[in-house]
Homo-oligomer: A and B are copies of this chain.
């Protein structure tokens, strides 16, 4: 990305605002998570796996659907997480087509630390909103409303 001067003509264009806000947040997120050896997408996978692990562990296809990514993309994601020892693929005993994705001990540890970092990044990113006297939760609420 270049200068990001954001002149007048574009401040009212929703497409521009969404795209560049997303880019900025992704950069801030990547910077903060880099020391942990993980990126935002991998963290999201870990979080989904841990959250879904109340009952049966999720298959790759289920995790992919939950994350809104393609199942072929999930293969690479699972490869990366498994290579880092954060996740294990285990053939499901009931359905041998499925790869059940288990979060390992180190994976759970890293998840906890990374989630703390994520919260801090989000808080910092939304700081200008709070300073302007607006509701810092409003953005997430509006976006969730639009996706529902």
* A13: nearest chain-B partner, CB-CB: B44
A112 to chain B, nearest CB (A): 15
A147 interface residue (CB < 8 Å to B): yes
User: B2 touching A68 by the CB < 8 A rule?
Assistant: yes
A26 interface residue (CB < 8 Å to B): yes
User: B69 touching A24 by the CB < 8 A rule?
Assistant: no
Complex CA–CA separation, A4 to B144 (angstroms):
12
Number of copies: 2
A51 interface residue (CB < 8 Å to B): yes
- Residues of chain B lying within 8 A (CB to CB) of residue A10: 44, 47-48, 66-67
User: B44 touching A2 by the CB < 8 A rule?
Assistant: no
Task: Answer whether A18 and B25 are a contact pair too, CB < 8 Å, given A65-B2, A145-B129.
Answer: yes
Chain A positions within 8 Å of B, measured between CB atoms, are: 1-22, 24-26, 29, 40, 44, 47-48, 51-52, 64-71, 118, 122, 125-126, 128-129, 132, 134, 138-148
